[in-house]
Structure 1
């Protein structure tokens, strides 16, 4: 659907839920709150303008690949999405600019990840939803190990997740990635973290310490302010949650009616 306020901007919905927003004239414009937070993680991944190798699991309208191509020219990016029809639709109506350095692949995210070379990417962004839910096979400790294998030393994993109080899914994901990665952070709106509403949260993981203060500064001064939880506060939030195994994996919870729908 076109955005009447921006000449070449488009909202992509899937089954009535907003999925992506793209401004073809201004690829650095990130409309959705979770996309802005993933953008902050990408901005903090290296010094400004330095090209990165990025793997995106989940493509949508290719909002974040466009952002990286604009902010870090020369980056090499791969986008993996199982919905080949959606990729074809986006390619036809919202084409990437020439020389963007983005390769798009129609494939299952977990299958692609398991076949990807070790130590091959600087940042892995996971934004995979089947409808409005994160698929179960992208929630396990084995999946987290594959993400760690593909990342280069010093690389970062960032995932868009969704949950609400009592946060059984989100806590289990933090426990799962804590079992594999040495450093974790969680970026979310304070109202979501306090359990006042269902919403998105961005999980960040790395084997080396990342610049949490800079990430916190960027998210706090955003048009949609967020909080960064890490260290002891994050440990308390995780509580007694346990890592997810292949045998007990479940999708993220179904959002309450109207949480992500558009009129």
Structure 2
């Protein structure tokens, strides 16, 4: 069940797994490593301060919608969250500021995406976990095509994924999105990419060329340094992985005990 821990500065956990961290006094503060990397990507997808139309699949405590509202005032954001109870809990304890421009939808992420208008979003952020796993129906080629349809020609897809060596899930996701998008990049901690531990990786996909230099600088200089893989190195990482049809889609792997624990 969702729970907000006031002693940990508004840490939201779901079934014991940490989901969101919110600082109501400073919405630009991002605590979790993956959230910081998504924030860096959101910073460089367009010129600083430019309002964007952003679709968030997965709500949590609305950490990233708050971040976009603060860093890109005037943005229009839609958040799709299947857990009605979670939305009610967040609305009661962590209300959005007036004029945030964020609309909440209690719905399944893929169902909502399939009904969304074409070319309606500048950015699509996918951060959907059923407990601690990405649901299978959000990992297939059909889902990736829907994401590509909803994004504008210069739009960017961002996803929080999790895996460990030998990276069967992560490689399959990259192969799947490479079938739909012309450009891919992957942000992850070097230790994760070397197969030393289970961890998060942020997928960046676009129909247009990606200038990864500013993103690489931001992630490398972060308090939790990460590496950006792009181009030939990423193609080598994908190897012989194939796109995933709906019939073969599986959730992301079960994290090992303590992988996302709160210490």
TM range (shorter): over 0.9
CA drift at 1:211: 1.6
2:195 corresponding residue in structure 1: 195
Once the two structures are superposed, what CA deviation does each residue of 1:44-93 show, in whole Å capped at 9, x if it has no partner? 11100000000000000000000000000000000001001001000000
2:19 corresponding residue in structure 1: 19
Matches of 1:222 and 1:189, distance apart in 2: 11
CA drift at 1:261: 2.1
1:149 corresponding residue in structure 2: 149
TM-score (normalizing by structure 1): 0.97
1:104 corresponding residue in structure 2: 104
1:61 corresponding residue in structure 2: 61
Matches of 1:100 and 1:142, distance apart in 2: 32
Q: What pairs with 1:34-45 in structure 2 (closer than 5 Å)?
A: 34-45=34-45
2:90 corresponding residue in structure 1: 90
Residue segments in structure 1 that go unaligned for 5+ positions in a row: none
What secondary structure is seen at the aligned counterpart in 1 of 2:74?
Answer: coil
CA drift at 1:210: 1.8
Once the two structures are superposed, what CA deviation does each residue of 1:213-235 show, in whole Å capped at 9, x if it has no partner? 11101101111110000100000
Matches of 2:157 and 2:132, distance apart in 1: 21
Query: Does residue 6 of structure 2 align to residue 2 of structure 1?
Result: yes
2:130 corresponding residue in structure 1: 130
CA drift at 1:3: 4.2
1:160 corresponding residue in structure 2: 160
Matches of 2:123 and 2:188, distance apart in 1: 20
Query: Does residue 241 of structure 2 align to residue 237 of structure 1?
Result: no
Matches of 2:201 and 2:105, distance apart in 1: 26
Residue segments in structure 2 that go unaligned for 5+ positions in a row: none
Matches of 1:256 and 1:109, distance apart in 2: 26
Size of the aligned set, in residue pairs, is: 259
